[in-house]
């Protein structure tokens, strides 16, 4: 198979047929894998690359779906995709890529043949026009495009020199024009073109090339041409006089060429140079095939007469169709359309002019056949300035096409053909061109564009829904769907008007892909409107309003922090720690609860209509909130209307399942009928009905096209748009200079903007956009303005030169410096500022303080890509690593920390990066590797004498050693951390050190001491408002209550820990709480709950990929099933648990599992193997719960086997293990074991009965049920 990535994406199968791969993500995935053939790609990296807005599980699911789709498309080559649990790989030898061939040629000697191949391979930008809707992937695309563009320009420059040296003038000129289309500031290319023109006997073109070069250099760089260029210019001027006399007899009579385009004078306020624009033009290149043959025949009079005949026919046609004779020399004539003023139908004009010329000359004498006229028409962008210089690759495209044909041919490039609205007869010529045979009269084909007027059916449906909502006090959700520019926004406006008339209050917000300030983002904007607050409302006003809406449900401990993120408010440093401590999931749940209350409160006064437009741009958080809204409106007097493009609709099955079954009705819009289009036209203009009819016929039922035709062109009866861009340019050409400058500046700010920001960009103090409003380019939007359509903004923005765009972005960055850190950074990025990376770091840090971790990660990632291996890049990579760990993308986090460590020039930062990498490896249970990295970090931390770094280093080491059950070393590491924390007098470090000491003491079986450390840790955490970060310690503190004598307190504490962990979004702490709850419940009568919490814990462990804890949860499920009498099912779970323990860290939980397995199995060999293996692990060293529960289970094993000596043995072992710190839990099972062993010997007496009674009373007080039944047989009659 063949995969073309230059100029777009195209996959060809073995038969030469294009493969229809519709999924944007699948294309992006295949392109990535194709560029990394035979290189394993981690699944985590691919998931983050393409589905950054999704959580870890959903992203990996989407990756699996994309891989499945690729295998189907690849067919016989499906085995090229090799995938396992961790990596995906594309095998070589199955898919050939043009980029691969390009890269391979770069490695070989740069011979002329190879250079020609390289130039022919580079058919455009890498994945040109491709938008994967992923910031991470888009950033990679930018890097790849720059890489291939630079190599292509370098190769073509070498080929250009070869053409000059070997006198291949025509090929050299075409290539030079193509190179300047990529980068017009290449002075060496201008100079080579001058030489090629001069040696090809075209001195006028050589001098014109010099003037164009000089203007570009002076305007863009403020520099004159180099001395070599000036000398070459002087040489060509001296030689020109003789050449002109030699050619006078055979030159065509020059018709009037274009006059310099003069801008209207600027107002006093805007008296500044007009920015140059990229104009979209159509170029018709007439190539006179037999011109040189006629010259060689030696009959100049005949050639002169034929040329005069050609001009006599051509001049009136150029004037009639509004073209400009741009170039006229020798065998070539070039006519431009749309340069000085756009009409939107330039390609049609060019085609009709050339076709009419051919039809006229065919009826004339034989002179046209003697000249051999053949034509090529191309459309594209050119750079034009008021002095007359015009440059662009489109000239070379049209010339190449014209010269490739035969006399009489009229050829069009593919883009020119696709932009036509004429009824023509044409056949495809090769892959990129069409040969036109005839232009017929008739109606244009209609395109499927939805309308605004004539929507009576849709309006009736919404009116009925509004009535039902008002009467039933319950609503539903509607999805209004259509292609870009379909008229959704105008229909929504009509619905709002009807809603107001019916007493329903509409609230409208819009999702944008760029340029949104915090207060205008969709959910914050919607909530402000529901609360009756302006965008400038302060945090105090918002909190008062929300508290009023929530009433008694307001929780002052959590909701103030959630409001900061939900409303995107700026926060102070004191609140940052509190916000940081609440995880994303807890934020989402809390935000959804606030949203529900606000909606319920607002609908008490009047029914509401909630509108969220353009959700195809929405991030995952916004989509989650919208899903919650769909459920909420079904319970309140409110309707929800959301709009989306068809091609980007994000409402997948996972989103729909989050609606909780709420109703959703989808409406797809259709084109306007001619009757309805006429009604719309009458509302827009009072122009002549013949013109209106022509516009309606050519608009194809598209209201946006129709509106722009009627408002933006001078001859709409014939001039129809071939693209939105040319239509927009035709409307810009009607504006005064100050309005044109203003709308161009506004386009840099994004689709929505504030007027004061535009004034800042223009450097003026006063301007009113009345003309832009009257021209329907803008519309008022709350406290600012909005482009009436995103395509308008995009077309205006694209028309600006890159240099002017960059300058405006830098001004925008200055405007946003104190207003919006994220937009400040992004504008610096687009402006090419050297301060971009620093701005991204500051913006990411601010987003972290506001708990907007999704944006923080995006900002940090982009900053790190820009900064790369600089000190700033190191800091950004460290921040990115922290955020990736929090997001659960552990592999990517490790990669970020590794990059930071490799590039760090400061030992402290490198140490921090190494500790972060070790943290990620610990989560992945790569414990030995994590310890090795900490060994490298240790000298750096010690040299730095930074207590924070040293404390973190020892804490992380202790954490790893805990997991490895190296309890003595674990305790030593945490003791060092505790000492350093006390010396620093930093309460945050002390909290961490106390938690570490608690874990270490727990690991060694010093449970009472561990409980004390946990109590101090939690007390300090509550004082410092850091409890969310230590909720995991609360879970372990709850477990200590089991062993210290209170099941009731254990259950209460663990229930609290689970609830808080869920609220804070701390999945690991939530998993630990459920796991410990399951363990404690096994010692009560509520075995069903023990099993249920085991399943909860297992599900979370799998979600986190915390394989070390699979065994804990599986063992609890298995033990619960055994206690319920489901012996075989329980054994299967226990065997799975043991295998999971072996696959991760056996010393963590294996002895516990083996003890339970030995107790419940009926297979004696399995029992003895379990006992032997369990004891072996204990002898190696293990965690305290393994000793406690293995010895307790061994007492039970030998109780059932009626072997009192072994019961005494294990009771003594348990007593010895807890000798340093006896525990009520272990004391109970020690005394119980010894008493039951005595009973087996038949030596129980009255004292034995009283001892049994005391043990039963102790069990009842502690809340222990397991093991009490056997004691009741010994106790005195009547014992409860």
3-state secondary structure 868-897: CCCHHHHHHHHHHHHHHHHHCCHHHHHHHH
Exposed / middle / buried, residue 274 (Cβ in 10 Å: 0-12, 13-18, 19+): middle
CA dist 533 to 499, 622, 1175, Å? 21, 20, 68
The continuous run of DSSP H or E covering 608 comes out as strand 608-613
Taking CA 560 as the corner, what is the angle to CA 555 and CA 562, rounded to the nearest 5 degrees? 100
Please tell me whether the overall predicted TM-score, pTM, comes out greater than 0.95 for this model: no
pLDDT beyond 70 at 11:
yes
* In a shared domain, residues 667 and 682: no
CA dist 1149 to 266, 1116, 1213, Å? 80, 11, 19
* In a shared domain, residues 95 and 125: yes
Write the pLDDT tens digit of every residue in 508-543. 888 865 444 555 678 888 888 988 888 778 888 888
**Could you tell me if residue 1095 is inside a domain?**
no
Return the residue matching tokens 């399995």: 1166
DSSP assignments along 1163-1225, one per residue: -HHHHHHHHHHHHHHHHH---HHHHHHHHHHHHHHHHHTT-HHHHHHHHHHHHHHTSSS--HH
CATH, residue 364: 3.30.70.1230
* Mean pLDDT of all residues in 649-667: 76
Are the CB atoms for 674 and 456 separated by under 8 Å?
A: no
pLDDT in the model for residue 1278: 43
761 or 583, which is more confident: 761
Write the pLDDT tens digit of every residue in 560-616. 877 877 777 765 555 555 655 666 667 777 888 888 899 999 999 999 999 998 888
CB atoms within 10 A of CB 778: 24
pLDDT in the model for residue 1210: 95
**Could you tell me if residue 1124 is inside a domain?**
no
CA dist 145 to 25, 126, 491, 744, Å? 18, 5, 40, 26
Are the CB atoms for 1197 and 1185 separated by under 8 Å?
A: no
Taking the C-alpha atoms of residue 717 and residue 685, their distance in angstroms, rounded to an integer, is 14
**Could you tell me if residue 167 is inside a domain?**
yes
* In a shared domain, residues 579 and 490: yes
* Mean pLDDT of all residues in 421-448: 67
Query: Residue 664's closest CA among 674, 676, 675, 652?
Result: 652
Taking the C-alpha atoms of residue 212 and residue 1048, their distance in angstroms, rounded to an integer, is 87
Sequence-separated (6 or more) residues with CB below 8 Å from residue 1173: 1150, 1154
837 or 19, which is more confident: 837
**Could you tell me if residue 195 is inside a domain?**
yes
Beta-bridge partner residues of 644: 481
**Could you tell me if residue 430 is inside a domain?**
yes
pLDDT in the model for residue 388: 64
291 or 949, which is more confident: 949
CB atoms within 10 A of CB 794: 16
Taking the C-alpha atoms of residue 701 and residue 696, their distance in angstroms, rounded to an integer, is 7
Taking CA 1105 as the corner, what is the angle to CA 1101 and CA 1106, rounded to the nearest 5 degrees? 60
How many residues does the structure list for the chain?
1280
- Residue 142's domain comprises 2-245
Give the chain's count of helices (H) and strands (E): 58, 22
Sequence-separated (6 or more) residues with CB below 8 Å from residue 1266: 1082, 1083, 1084
Report the SS3 class of residue 2.
Answer: strand
pLDDT in the model for residue 1023: 85
Taking the C-alpha atoms of residue 822 and residue 514, their distance in angstroms, rounded to an integer, is 11
Write the pLDDT tens digit of every residue in 195-246. 888 888 788 788 888 888 887 777 666 678 888 888 888 888 877 654 444 4
Query: Residue 853's closest CA among 817, 898, 823, 885?
Result: 885
* In a shared domain, residues 679 and 667: no
Give the distance between the most distant pair of CA atoms in the chain: 142
Taking the C-alpha atoms of residue 599 and residue 638, their distance in angstroms, rounded to an integer, is 8
Q: Of the residues 695, 721, 747, which one is the last residue of a structural domain?
A: 721
Highest mean pLDDT among 185-189, 219-223, 373-377, 989-993: 373-377
The count of domains in the chain is 4
Beta-bridge partner residues of 373: 288
Q: What is the mean pLDDT of the chain?
A: 82
pLDDT beyond 90 at 1150:
yes
Are the CB atoms for 1265 and 1080 separated by under 8 Å?
A: no
Are the CB atoms for 628 and 592 separated by under 8 Å?
A: yes
Are the CB atoms for 201 and 247 separated by under 8 Å?
A: yes
Query: Residue 843's closest CA among 832, 852, 833?
Result: 852
pLDDT in the model for residue 99: 87
pLDDT in the model for residue 264: 33
Are the CB atoms for 846 and 821 separated by under 8 Å?
A: yes
* In a shared domain, residues 533 and 658: yes
537 Rama sector, left if φ>0, alpha if ψ -120 to 50, beta otherwise? beta
Task: Pick the range with the lowest mean pLDDT from 35-49, 335-349, 1073-1087.
Answer: 335-349
* In a shared domain, residues 37 and 146: yes
pLDDT in the model for residue 722: 41
* In a shared domain, residues 16 and 116: yes
Return the residue matching tokens 């170039």: 327
Taking CA 1084 as the corner, what is the angle to CA 1082 and CA 1088, rounded to the nearest 5 degrees? 65
Task: List helix spans (H) across 607-685.
Answer: 620-633, 653-657, 674-684
CATH, residue 119: 1.25.40.10
* In a shared domain, residues 141 and 189: yes
Write the pLDDT tens digit of every residue in 1219-1238. 999 999 999 999 999 999 99
* In a shared domain, residues 433 and 293: yes
Highest mean pLDDT among 156-170, 370-384, 644-658, 1190-1204: 1190-1204
Which tokens is 657 given?
């399942």
pLDDT in the model for residue 1201: 92
* In a shared domain, residues 639 and 686: no
Task: Pick the range with the lowest mean pLDDT from 282-296, 334-348, 387-401, 431-445.
Answer: 431-445
Taking the C-alpha atoms of residue 1157 and residue 1131, their distance in angstroms, rounded to an integer, is 7
* In a shared domain, residues 26 and 108: yes
pLDDT beyond 80 at 1252:
yes
Give the rounded percent of residues in the chain with a pLDDT score beyond 70.
87
The continuous run of DSSP H or E covering 149 comes out as helix 135-165
Taking the C-alpha atoms of residue 625 and residue 593, their distance in angstroms, rounded to an integer, is 10
CA dist 652 to 54, 623, 666, Å? 12, 11, 14
* In a shared domain, residues 289 and 387: yes
Are the CB atoms for 520 and 535 separated by under 8 Å?
A: yes
Sequence-separated (6 or more) residues with CB below 8 Å from residue 790: 484, 513, 614, 751
**Could you tell me if residue 832 is inside a domain?**
no
* CB hemisphere CA count around 683 (13 angstroms): 13
* Mean pLDDT of all residues in 399-428: 82
Sequence-separated (6 or more) residues with CB below 8 Å from residue 853: 584, 847, 883, 886, 887
**Could you tell me if residue 878 is inside a domain?**
no
Q: Tell me the backbone φ, ψ of residue 781, rounded to 5 degrees.
A: -145, 100
CATH, residue 570: 3.40.50.300
Q: Of the residues 440, 465, 495, which one is the last residue of a structural domain?
A: 440
CB atoms within 10 A of CB 67: 18
Please report the sign of the dihedral spanned by the C-alpha atoms of residue 1263, residue 1081, residue 1109, residue 1052. Answer: negative
Rg (CA), the chain: 38
Q: Of the residues 608, 640, 671, which one is the last residue of a structural domain?
A: 671
**Could you tell me if residue 1037 is inside a domain?**
no
């Amino acid at each position: 198979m063949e995969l073309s990535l230059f100029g777009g994406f195209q996959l060809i199968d073995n038969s030469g047929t294009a493969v229809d791969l519709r999924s944007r993500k699948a294309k992006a995935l295949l392109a990535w894998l194709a560029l990394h053939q035979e290189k394993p790609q981690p699944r985590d990296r691919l998931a983050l690359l393409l589905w950054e807005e999704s959580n870890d599980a959903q992203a990996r699911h989407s990756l699996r779906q994309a891989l499945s789709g690729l295998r189907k498309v690849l067919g016989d080559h499906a085995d090229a995709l090799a995938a396992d649990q961790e990596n995906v790989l594309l095998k070589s030898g199955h898919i050939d890529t043009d980029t691969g061939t390009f890269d391979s040629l770069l490695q070989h000697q740069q011979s002329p043949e190879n250079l020609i191949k390289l130039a022919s391979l580079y058919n455009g930008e890498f994945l040109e026009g491709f938008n994967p809707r992923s910031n991470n992937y888009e950033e990679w695309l930018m890097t790849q495009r720059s890489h291939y563009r630079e190599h292509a320009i370098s190769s073509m420059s070498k080929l250009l020199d070869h053409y000059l040296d070997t006198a291949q003038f025509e090929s050299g000129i075409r290539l030079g024009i193509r190179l300047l289309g990529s980068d017009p500031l290449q002075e060496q290319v201008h100079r080579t073109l001058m030489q090629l023109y001069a040696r090809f006997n075209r001195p006028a073109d050589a001098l014109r090339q010099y003037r164009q070069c000089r203007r570009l250099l002076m305007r863009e760089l403020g520099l004159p041409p180099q001395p070599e260029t000036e000398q070459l210019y002087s040489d060509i001027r001296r030689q020109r006089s003789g050449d002109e006399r030699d050619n006078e007899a055979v030159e065509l009579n020059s018709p009037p060429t274009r006059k310099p385009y003069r801008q209207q004078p600027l107002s006093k306020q805007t008296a500044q140079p007009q920015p140059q624009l990229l104009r979209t033009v159509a170029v018709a290149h007439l190539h006179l095939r037999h011109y040189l043959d006629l010259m060689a025949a030696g009959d100049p009079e005949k050639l002169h007469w034929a040329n005069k005949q050609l001009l006599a026919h051509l001049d009136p046609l150029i004037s009639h169709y509004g073209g400009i004779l741009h170039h006229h020399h020798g065998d070539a004539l070039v006519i431009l359309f749309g340069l000085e003023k756009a009409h939107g139908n330039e390609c049609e004009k060019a085609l009709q002019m050339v076709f009419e010329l051919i039809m006229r000359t065919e009826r004339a004498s034989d002179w046209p056949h003697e000249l051999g006229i053949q034509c090529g028409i191309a459309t594209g962008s050119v750079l034009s300035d008021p002095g007359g210089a015009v440059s662009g690759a489109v000239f070379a495209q049209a010339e190449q096409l014209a010269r490739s044909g035969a006399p009489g041919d009229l050829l069009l490039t593919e883009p020119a053909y696709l932009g036509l609205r004429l009824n023509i007869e044409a056949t495809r010529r090769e892959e990129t061109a069409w040969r036109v045979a005839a232009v017929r009269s008739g109606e244009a084909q209609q395109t499927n564009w939805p309308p605004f007027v004539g929507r009576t059916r849709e309006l009736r449906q919404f009116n009925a829904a509004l009535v039902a909502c008002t009467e039933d006090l319950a609503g539903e959700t509607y999805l209004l769907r259509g292609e870009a520019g379909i008229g959704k926004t105008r229909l929504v406006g009509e619905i709002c008007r009807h809603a107001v008339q019916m007493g329903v209050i509409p609230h409208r917000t819009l999702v944008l892909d760029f340029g949104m300030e915090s207060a205008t983002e969709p959910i914050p904007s919607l909530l402000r409107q529901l609360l009756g607050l302006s965008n400038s409302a302060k945090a105090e006003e918002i909190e008062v309003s929300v508290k009023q809406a929530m009433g008694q449900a307001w929780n002052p401990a959590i909701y103030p922090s959630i409001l900061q993120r939900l409303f995107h408010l700026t926060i102070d440093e004191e609140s940052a720690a509190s916000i940081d401590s609440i995880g994303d999931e807890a934020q989402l749940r809390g935000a959804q609860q606030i949203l529900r209350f606000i909606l319920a409160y607002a609908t008490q006064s009047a029914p509401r209509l909630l509108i969220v437009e353009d959700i195809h741009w929405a991030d995952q958080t916004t989509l989650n909130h919208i899903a919650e809204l769909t459920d909420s409106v079904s319970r309140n007097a409110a309707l929800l209307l959301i709009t989306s493009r068809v091609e980007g609709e994000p409402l997948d099955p996972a989103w729909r399942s989050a609606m909780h079954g709420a109703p959703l009705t989808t409406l797809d819009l259709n084109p306007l009928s001619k009757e309805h289009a006429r009604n719309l036209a009458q509302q827009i203009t009072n122009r002549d009905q013949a013109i209106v009819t022509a516009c309606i016929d050519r608009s194809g039922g598209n209201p946006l096209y129709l509106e722009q035709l009627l408002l933006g062109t001078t001859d709409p009866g014939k001039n129809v748009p071939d693209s939105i861009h040319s239509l927009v340019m035709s409307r810009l050409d009607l504006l005064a200079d100050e309005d044109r400058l203003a709308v161009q500046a506004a386009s840099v700010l994004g689709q929505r903007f504030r007027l004061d920001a535009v004034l800042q960009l223009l450097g003026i103090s006063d301007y009113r956009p009345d003309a832009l409003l009257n021209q329907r380019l803008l519309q008022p939007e709350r406290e600012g303005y909005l482009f009436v359509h995103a395509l308008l903004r995009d077309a205006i923005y694209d028309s600006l030169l890159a240099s002017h765009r960059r300058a405006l972005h830098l001004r925008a960055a200055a405007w946003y410096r104190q207003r919006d850190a994220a937009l400040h950074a992004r504008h610096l990025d687009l402006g090419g500022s050297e301060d971009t990376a620093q701005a991204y770091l500051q913006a990411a840090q601010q987003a972290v303080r506001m708990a907007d971790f999704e944006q923080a990660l995006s900002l940090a990632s982009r900053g790190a890509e820009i900064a790369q291996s600089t000190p700033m890049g190191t800091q950004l990579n460290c921040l990115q690593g922290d955020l990736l760990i929090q997001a659960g993308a552990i592999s990517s986090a490790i990669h970020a920390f590794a990059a930071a460590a490799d590039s760090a020039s400061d030992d402290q930062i490198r140490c921090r990066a190494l500790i972060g990498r070790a943290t990620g490896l610990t989560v992945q249970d790569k414990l030995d590797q994590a310890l090795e990295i900490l060994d490298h970090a240790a000298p750096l931390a010690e040299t730095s004498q930074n207590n924070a770094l040293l404390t973190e280093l020892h804490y992380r080491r202790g954490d790893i050693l805990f997991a490895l059950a190296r309890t003595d070393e674990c305790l030593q590491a945490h003791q060092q951390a505790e000492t350093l924390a006390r010396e620093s007098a930093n309460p945050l470090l002390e909290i961490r050190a106390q938690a570490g000491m608690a874990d270490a003491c727990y690991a060694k079986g010093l449970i009472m001491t561990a409980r004390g450390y946990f109590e101090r840790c939690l007390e300090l955490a509550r004082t410092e408002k850091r409890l969310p970060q230590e909720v995991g310690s609360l879970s372990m503190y709850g477990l200590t209550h089991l062993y210290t004598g209170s099941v009731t307190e254990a259950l209460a504490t663990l229930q609290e820990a689970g609830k808080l962990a869920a609220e804070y979004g701390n999945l690991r702490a939530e998993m630990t709480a459920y796991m410990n709850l399951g363990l404690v419940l096994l010692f009560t009568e509520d075995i069903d709950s023990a099993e249920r919490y085991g399943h909860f814990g297992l599900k979370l462990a799998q979600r986190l990929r915390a394989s070390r804890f699979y065994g804990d949860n599986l063992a609890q499920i298995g033990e619960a099933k055994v206690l319920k009498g489901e012996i075989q099912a329980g054994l299967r779970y226990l065997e799975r648990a043991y295998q999971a323990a072996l696959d991760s860290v056996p010393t963590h939980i294996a002895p516990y599992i083996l003890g339970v397995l030995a107790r419940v199995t009926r297979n004696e060999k399995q029992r003895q193997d379990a006992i032997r293996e369990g004891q072996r692990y204990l002898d190696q060293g293990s965690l305290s719960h393994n000793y406690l529960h293995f010895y307790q289970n061994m007492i039970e094993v030998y109780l059932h086997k009626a072997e009192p000596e072994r019961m005494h043995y294990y009771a003594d072992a348990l007593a010895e293990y807890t000798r340093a710190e006896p525990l009520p839990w272990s004391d109970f099972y020690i005394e119980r074991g010894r008493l039951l062993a005595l009973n087996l010997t038949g030596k129980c007496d009255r004292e034995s009965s009283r001892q049994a009674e005391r043990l039963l009373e102790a069990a009842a007080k502690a809340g222990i049920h397991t093991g009490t039944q056997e004691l009741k047989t010994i106790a005195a009659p009547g014992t409860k």
